[in-house]
Amino acid sequence: MGEVRKLQKKLRQIENLEIKISLSPEERFKISRKAELRSRLAELQLQLSGPQQTLGIVGDGKKEKMKRQVEDAPEALPSQTPPASKILKGEEESKAQATPAPAAKQRGRGGETEIGRQRERTEPADVSHHCRESDNERQLRQEEAEFTSLKSSWEKAKFRLRLLEGHNDIVTCVVAIDNLVVSGSRDTTVKVWHVPTATEHKNLGGHTGGVTCLSAPPPEYCKRLARSLSVSDKERFILSGSADCYVKIWALNIGQCVKSIYTFNAVTALCFVPEEDGYIITGSDGGKVQAWSWHTFENCQSINAHQEAVTSIQSQGPLVFSGSAEGGVSVWENRCSDRDPLRLLHHWSGQVTGCGGEGGRLTLSPRGDRVFLAHGRAWLKILHWRTGTMSRLTNHSSITGVTDCVHQTGGLLIGSCYDLANGESSLNLFSLPQCRYLTSLTWPDAPRILCFAAWTTGSGDHRWVTGGRDLIVWEQLPTSGKQKGDVTAKRDSRLESCSLESEGDTEDDEETDDDEGEDDNDHGRAGQRDDVEDSGSGSWLRCVLQ
């Protein structure tokens, strides 16, 4: 198993090297070995397949163990009370113990009367008990029927893909606004695309570093800014963050930058919080979280929140969630004040989440009391952020799978997956809130998906956009009339048997680093390590933005 992990590490290094702008001769040599390493890895996986596979995950024999499966009720936490059926059963047993048994011999009319009274006392409880059990069973049947119907509809789903060509480098972030898609790239540009015609609408140049993140303020906050700038109320604005330490605010219709905010740090993540006057929350390559007023654009707060680069920031009402390269997750409450609006509610380290490590890129998506985490492994992590308990959801049938991003749209949870061993990419769909596997979408030569955005049309059909090496729009089609090149759903039988698992610890997720330096030593470069394996505050920038 040690050689398998070493090969996986080398392939991760090569994948990160391939997205660098300039390559040294040594790096080019490493990339040339990718096919050879994949072939060797496939051979080893074939030898290890069979009895060592558990729940679709190939594991180390010493660490491998069956984790108990738990039911994940909608927005339920492990600390909540047991199911109603168990409570009723316990109450029934306690009542039976508390009620004295009738006399062995009942004589005369008085005894019959006493028995009748006892039946009157016990029968209503039994009826209530059976009614509640019946209601519970009915609800379970209804949920199962709804899931079966949803699964059946997605098994017939079809999408038509359209390539949006124009960026000269990797697309790092995407957002969707009405019929427009906005993309940010390592080529330093922000581009606006008209989806119905799949054409470039605007090219917004102004950043001098790679664009790392985008966010779209809601229409009402756009109107406030439009009025202050004396432009049309219909103007829509977009926020972009870059490695050049700037956050820029762009007016999409006129195609101009209307405001630049210098943050003193390379911006690696941002989001907009639509509370009170509105706030821009940014994360930096050094782990700093900052809040900026949407009204004055002044800095309201700066916090050294994480040890390494902040790689993801998302808002949910007044709550803000930040995730970092070392795997830590922080939950903040926005108190809507002019100074220090963010108050820390919880912080969970990488030791709790089991995230971080190679690649150093964690993305998150909050939902109620849960946060879905993607961190470059074959599964999605689920953090119950109020209690710190963890679950995980299998997103690939082999540990060579890499989950790059996670997204929620409607009742769907979507995780992107890339197989390091064969270069195949797919999107896996799960139902919410139960997190049950529905289907997968893939096509030949699908590129690695690093970012995702989604919206629905007026008719209720799905439209998605994915970014990475290619920027692609996905348009859902009717179930009939397939054309060549259309993507159809395909269920992965190996994922069907996988369900949500609880985690008592994270030791299964940790990979040993005993062979970390061997790849360089093989070619006489002892002690030298790849940039993608460096630790420190800028590790995520180095692996994604160089």
If DSSP states are collapsed to H, E and C, what string results for 67-80? CCECCCCCCCCCCC
Mean pLDDT confidence for 404-408: 94
Tokens of 111: 């005894």
What's the confidence (pLDDT) of residue 133? 64
Looking at per-residue confidence, does 304 or 96 come out higher?
304
pTM of the predicted protein model: 0.75
- Per-residue pLDDT for 153 more than 80? yes
Three-state DSSP at 297 gives coil
- Per-residue pLDDT for 484 more than 90? no
CB 267 within 8 A of CB 282: yes
Between helix 25-32 and helix 2-18 the angle, nearest 10°, is: 120
Specify the CATH number of the domain 158-503: 2.130.10.10
Mean pLDDT confidence for 71-92: 38
Nearest to 430 by CA among 399, 454, 406, 457: 406
Amino acid at position 73, single letter = A
Least confident stretch, 32-36, 406-410, 473-477: 32-36
What's the confidence (pLDDT) of residue 357? 67
What's the confidence (pLDDT) of residue 531? 39
533 DSSP 8-state letter: G
Between helix 84-98 and helix 108-155 the angle, nearest 10°, is: 170
Q: How confident is the model at residue 132 (pLDDT cuts 50, 70, 90)?
A: low
Q: What are phi and psi for residue 205, nearest 5 degrees?
A: -105, 140
What's the confidence (pLDDT) of residue 168? 93
Q: What are phi and psi for residue 133, nearest 5 degrees?
A: -60, -40
Mean pLDDT confidence for 131-154: 85
Mean pLDDT confidence for 28-37: 80
Q: How confident is the model at residue 126 (pLDDT cuts 50, 70, 90)?
A: low
What's the confidence (pLDDT) of residue 210? 93
What's the confidence (pLDDT) of residue 64? 36
Looking at per-residue confidence, does 533 or 243 come out higher?
243
- Which percentage of the chain shows pLDDT scores above 70? 73
What's the confidence (pLDDT) of residue 358? 60
Mean pLDDT confidence for 390-407: 90
What's the confidence (pLDDT) of residue 359? 55
Q: Highest mean pLDDT range out of 118-122, 151-155, 354-358?
A: 151-155
- Per-residue pLDDT for 459 more than 60? yes
What's the confidence (pLDDT) of residue 16? 64
Instruction: Give 417-425 contacts, CB < 8 A, sequence gap 24+.
Output: 417/378, 418/448, 418/449, 420/8, 420/11, 420/12, 420/15, 420/38, 420/41, 421/11, 421/38, 421/41, 421/42, 421/45, 422/38, 422/42, 423/38, 425/449
Mean pLDDT confidence for 112-122: 49
Round to whole Å and give the CA distance between 172 and 199.
Answer: 19
Q: Highest mean pLDDT range out of 97-101, 360-364, 464-468, 505-509?
A: 464-468
Burial of 532: CB neighbours in 10 Å, binned 0-12, 13-18, 19+? buried
- Per-residue pLDDT for 514 more than 80? no
What's the confidence (pLDDT) of residue 129? 56
Dihedral of alpha carbons 47, 50, 51, 54, sign? positive
Domain locations along the chain? 158-503
Tokens of 349: 């380290």
- Per-residue pLDDT for 527 more than 70? no
If you search the block for the tokens 């339920």, which residue do you land on?
76
Average pLDDT for the chain? 79
What's the confidence (pLDDT) of residue 504? 59
Tokens of 251: 């007016």
Q: What digits encode the pLDDT tens for the residues 363-382?
A: 999 999 999 999 988 899 99
- Per-residue pLDDT for 162 more than 90? yes
Least confident stretch, 101-110, 137-146, 400-409: 101-110
What's the confidence (pLDDT) of residue 481? 66
- Per-residue pLDDT for 538 more than 60? no
What's the confidence (pLDDT) of residue 468? 93
Looking at per-residue confidence, does 333 or 11 come out higher?
333
Q: Chain centroid to CA 124: how far?
A: 48
What's the confidence (pLDDT) of residue 310? 95
What's the confidence (pLDDT) of residue 49? 63
Q: What digits encode the pLDDT tens for the residues 266-297?
A: 999 999 999 999 999 999 999 999 999 999 99
Round to whole Å and give the CA distance between 249 and 240.
Answer: 7
Looking at per-residue confidence, does 434 or 79 come out higher?
434
